[in-house]
Structure 1
Amino acid sequence: MPYELAKVFACLPQVERGVSKVLGGDPKGINFLYTNNKSVIIRNIDRPEIADIYTEHAHQVHVAQYAPSGYYIASGDASGKIRIWDTTQKEHLLKYEYQPFAGAVKDICWSGDSQKVAAVGRGKEIFGAVFHWDTGTSVGSITGHSKVINSIAFKPNRPFHVVTGSDDYTCVFFEALPVKFKCTINNHTKFVNCLRYSPDGSKFASAGADGQIFIYNGKDGNQICALGGSSAHNGGVYAVSWNADSTHLISASGDKTVKLWDVEANSAVTTFTMGSDVMDQQLGCLWQNNHLLSVSLSGYINYLDKANPSKPLRIIKGHSKSIQALTVHTSDGRCSIYSGSHDGHMNVWNATTGENDTFAGKGHTNQVSCIVASDSNEIVTCSMDDTVRFTCLCSNEYKPENAVKMDNQPKNVAVGPGGYVVVICIEQIVLLKDKKKVFTIENLDYEPECVAIHPGGVTVAVGGNDSKVHLYSIQGATLQKHSVLSPSHLGPVSVLSYSPDGGNLAVSSTNKVTTIFTVADDYKEAESYYGHHAKVLCLAWSPDNQHFATGGMDGLVFVWTLKDTHKIFKLQECHRLYHISGIAWLDEHTLVTTSHDASVKQWTITYN
């Protein structure tokens, strides 16, 4: 195989304010689950840098849960589809797919014998269903609610029972099997967000938007106590999770805390204070083995520390929204990956370990459109917030004085030696020198789309929507146009890049073709490369100048060999269901790709 997936730096959970985020635990204690857009993320709980991504849903996935046997996962999406798939094979083969009701699935649980699946959500008339996992045959009906059901829990041992919680402020207790309505529980005064049975089946807990957590007898549904008396939290409670011996549980709340409760003593043993910002609201939690996890509104996954409740052991950061821009920096003996997302979030990754952090300080407030690394140890970014920012690699901290405001929205940026930066804006080309605007070209007869500066620092290539490449020269504090390239096979230019040695210019277009121009030969058109089925979105040269890679809207990545159009490496479904938004080389054998799945992947390329 000429290529191999080496590493996956997974996305964070996709969260929504005021909505519970379900985390699924592996019964074997190895992995945990969550969802983001159309993906189910499987992460190793001890080493979260080890991740796997399931991307077979056609719609946004809201929940995924392991079967108690550990052999299967059931995941449910916004269309009401529930897919049951294998965990033991790398391909995650689909076993069955069902649609028990028409509407978003909000929660899923399995019976203790791994034979039945229960699902609830936003149906039109039916809000939930319980069925055999291998036949889809119904084993009773979920009734008694008048609004969307947010949560469901199965008593893990016999005699089986089922309990549900809804936006109608009630919980309903069912006998099983078959599932049969027994009684309605009216303790909560607002939405019921989460219900969970204890592992021994003796109790279950309900958590609501009213800040209350109630504990019930698992066999008959009678109330045992209300944790904390009149209120467990000062804000809505979105999730609860029991420990293995059913004596304690943790709760996640919008009051920006997670609490650890001694259920028998009805007391909060520990209160984990997660911060004061609105993004520190806690929407999900999981207690697995010795790990206590919570999910913030920011999407960050917190590993809580009982010995130090004010500071998590570790915080898993990353992206929760689609990644739009990518670059790498490999000098100083470090290999770092920089990625920017749709929400303006910038992240830096250690390419070896997967450890990552966000940029500090107040930065971009809208989509990061382009990222490049300069030879002065700075990351230069442009954003839809109409700014270009210069960020020092040694600190990864935004500084207000290092932001340059553009008159028009910037789309692309290129850096050259000597402090020169060229920014492509809507209907403008702007030259910066030492972080200051020194020259602007307006009233163009074409719309500029992308830019590259020759490594020599003199020539600037600008790709336009007129299917041409416009060449300018940097002369002091001005840009002077000197020639235009009109390739024979080119459409509107989408991306272009000079090879590291400056010998060639690669130009890709919306008509799926990449053309190479030989710089020393007065930009003579050399070869054209075909293979993509849709628009080419990103392009990067390998450090050895012998190969370049392209990523397209078709989700394909091609690695091309210079002067040999037939020597092609085709990477299919790198980010399944998504187009490739960024591509870069760490070295001539390691390729990095990003996509709208908010994940970063590394690929090992082996040349024959």
Structure 2
Amino acid sequence: MRDLENPSIATEYVGHKAQATVARYSPSGYYMASGDANGNVRIWDTVNEEHILKNECRPISGKISDIAWDCESKRLIAVGEGKESFGHAFLFDTLSSVGEITGHSKMINSVSIRQQRPFRAVTASDDMTVSFFTGVPFKFQKNIRDHTRFVHAVQFSPNGDFFVSAGADGKMFLYDGKTGDKIEELVSEQDGHKGSIFAVSWSPDSTQILSSSSDYTAKIWDVNTKRIVNTFQIDSAVNTVDNQQVGNLWVVDYLITTSLSGEISYLDKNSGKVSRQVDGHAKAITALAVSKKDNTLFTGSYDGRVYGWKFGEEDNTTKARRIAGDGHSNQITAINASSDAEEFFSVAMDDTLRQGSAEEFTFSDKAISTNCVPRSLAISKDKIKVVATDETVLIYDEKLERIGSLENVDFKPSVADISSDGKTVFVGGQDNKVRMYQLDNGKLTASGELDKNLGNITCLAVHPELNLIAVGDSVGKIFVYDIESKDAVIQSWVFHTSRITALDWSDCGTYLVSGSIDTHIYIWNRDKPSRKIAIKNAHVDAVNSVRFLHNTTELNVVSVGQDAAVRVWEGKF
């Protein structure tokens, strides 16, 4: 749930156990009805932070496609996929039935309830029909067969006089809201939609309709003249297919359309242009880096996208900017930024290392092959890059020329780090050991092992000043080793219950932050090892990475997770 004025203010509901597919506010604003891919509908409180569950049911056996409330916030209709039924009408408090949703032979895509008495309802289906219902209780009256392909959306006007349908045939039809009789088709031969229409929304005064289509446009139609008032071309995504417009919203003066990529576009009705865009990850975020100079965030996700975030800019809002240029084609496994904040580097499962400008948010044309899947990326102050792959460890200089690699590897590397002076490389393996190497002109010479961990080594963090290194493993344990004596000086940080995914030291070197797939984040105090700050359930499913923000008086950390969210946490010891 986002604030329309400041979209970076957002809250998340995590009650569903399956993919959430639809959410609808009640007209009162106090409740939300949300559905998921397993056919569950949850009705929950929107006012309190806990989002207390009011009720839950499973009205149909398959995915919920749409939900509609009546104007009294008492009755709902949920529709979607099913076996015996494709929709159900029920009371929100007792869940008792208030009618039957029949008349369709295939999945129902959309439902709308007239917001005045006498109640009416309409549904749109893959069987190319629109069904019209009277109520309450809701009773099937007739099927409307004006569309020639799937019908994607139906919507009653706020005043109840009309409803509109839109479909994959690129057509929109206007109907009488009380009788369901067709008034006419909304058609424009010259500038009508050239593709499927996925969503429609009415203006608050019921005089205009906003439509969103797969032809990368959103249009405003005037109901009285049956003509198009404005056309908005949406073309910001890197892949043109991602520019398909699949959803929209018209609330007061806000006109919003959403792209297949997940990008939200604010439309200016007066100028006919996109006034603002809110972009971000739509898949699990798998990598995170924070620039030490200005706290610019770089994030990479499961689908290969990389974004930059200028933290705290423009009235304390933070916007995601997609990194332009030829990027990665597969999951990002690691990102890091140079100490001068001029460049960032990323590695991904497309077996490449790429360089980008941290100031211009663009990838360079240069892509370096790693020959196999890279697992981690570390950078020294003099821009020596160390990449751990499934087979070896690769060393690159400032110009991304390979200057060395780990030879005769008799273990499987999982992660690597490098000291800030670029003289020592640490390699964690899947045999529970960390091996130390001295680096000289690209040549790695073994200098010792750290072997107290009980699980596969999953992450490393070299202390910024002292001869210490923090080591996290697959069983949730964190050991801090003295590099010279190779002894574990801290062995009590064992509160994570599963694999450690990230470690990072604060600028002062006193605090260490850790994240895990157990969904928790801990901040540890090196001077007082028994003290800690716990951030429980920080992300749904898993915390994939966590980093300290720099140049702050408090222990502010940023984290990313499996839920595709970027979160900033404020705290003090």
Q: TM-score normalized by structure 2?
A: 0.95
Aligned partner of 2:388 among 404, 407, 424 = 424
Cα deviation 1:248-303 (Å, max 9, x = unaligned):
01100111111100011100011111239222111111111111110112211001
* Bigger relative contact order, structure 1 or 2 (CA pairs below 8 A, ≥6 apart): 1
Distance 1:419 1:82 in 2: 52
Distance 1:67 1:105 in 2: 17
Cα deviation 1:470-521 (Å, max 9, x = unaligned):
101111122222222211x4321010111221431000111211000123x4
1:328 lines up with 2:290 in the alignment? yes
Aligned partner of 2:171 among 181, 193, 212 = 212
Using a 3 Å threshold, how does the CA distance of structure 1 residues 354 and 597 change in structure 2: closer, same or farther?
Answer: same
Residue 445 of structure 2: aligned partner: 480
1:367 lines up with 2:327 in the alignment? no
Distance 2:260 2:411 in 1: 43
Structure 1 unaligned blocks of 5 or more: 1-41
Residue 52 of structure 1: aligned partner: 11
> Equivalences for 1:124-273 in 2 at 5 Å?
124-228=83-187, 232-273=192-233
Distance 2:508 2:250 in 1: 48
- In structure 2, the residue corresponding to 1:178 is in which secondary structure? coil
The alignment yields a C-alpha RMSD, in angstroms, of 1.3
Distance 2:362 2:568 in 1: 25
Q: Residues 427 and 442 of structure 1 are in contact (CA less than 8 Å); yes or no, is this contact kept in structure 2?
A: no
Cα deviation 1:379-431 (Å, max 9, x = unaligned):
11111111111212121111113x21111121111111333111111111111
Distance 1:512 1:279 in 2: 38
Residue 22 of structure 1: aligned partner: none
Q: TM-score normalized by structure 1?
A: 0.90
Q: Write the letter of the residue equivalent to 1:251.
A: S
1:586 lines up with 2:557 in the alignment? no
Q: Residues 455 and 502 of structure 1 are in contact (CA less than 8 Å); yes or no, is this contact kept in structure 2?
A: no
CA-CA distance at 1:373 after TM superposition = 1.3
Residue 357 of structure 2: aligned partner: 392
Residue 415 of structure 1: aligned partner: 379
Distance 1:128 1:506 in 2: 55
Residue 254 of structure 2: aligned partner: 291
Q: Write the letter of the residue equivalent to 1:316.
A: V
- In structure 2, the residue corresponding to 1:411 is in which secondary structure? strand
Structure 2 unaligned blocks of 5 or more: none
Distance 2:372 2:466 in 1: 30
Cα deviation 1:84-117 (Å, max 9, x = unaligned):
0011111110010011111110000001111101
Cα deviation 1:194-221 (Å, max 9, x = unaligned):
0110000100000000000001000000
Q: Write the letter of the residue equivalent to 1:525.
A: A
Residue 597 of structure 1: aligned partner: 563
- In structure 2, the residue corresponding to 1:279 is in which secondary structure? helix
> Equivalences for 1:535-546 in 2 at 5 Å?
535-546=499-510
Distance 1:115 1:63 in 2: 18
1:573 lines up with 2:534 in the alignment? no
Identity, % of aligned pairs? 37
Q: Residues 403 and 441 of structure 2 are in contact (CA less than 8 Å); yes or no, is this contact kept in structure 1?
A: no
Cα deviation 1:11-36 (Å, max 9, x = unaligned):
xxxxxxxxxxxxxxxxxxxxxxxxxx
Residue 522 of structure 1: aligned partner: 485
Cα deviation 1:105-143 (Å, max 9, x = unaligned):
000000111110110000111100000100000011100
Aligned partner of 1:350 among 310, 316, 328 = 310
- In structure 2, the residue corresponding to 1:58 is in which secondary structure? coil
- In structure 2, the residue corresponding to 1:532 is in which secondary structure? coil
Residue 497 of structure 1: aligned partner: 461
Q: Residues 63 and 77 of structure 1 are in contact (CA less than 8 Å); yes or no, is this contact kept in structure 2?
A: yes
Residue 14 of structure 1: aligned partner: none
1:303 lines up with 2:266 in the alignment? yes
Q: Write the letter of the residue equivalent to 1:279.
A: D
CA-CA distance at 1:229 after TM superposition = 5.5
CA-CA distance at 1:442 after TM superposition = 4.1
Distance 1:130 1:151 in 2: 14
Distance 1:237 1:147 in 2: 19
Distance 1:538 1:504 in 2: 16
CA-CA distance at 1:335 after TM superposition = 2.2
- In structure 2, the residue corresponding to 1:419 is in which secondary structure? coil
Q: Residues 188 and 227 of structure 2 are in contact (CA less than 8 Å); yes or no, is this contact kept in structure 1?
A: no
Aligned partner of 2:397 among 397, 408, 433 = 433
Distance 2:205 2:23 in 1: 24
1:341 lines up with 2:310 in the alignment? no
Distance 2:192 2:568 in 1: 44
Q: Residues 173 and 184 of structure 1 are in contact (CA less than 8 Å); yes or no, is this contact kept in structure 2?
A: yes
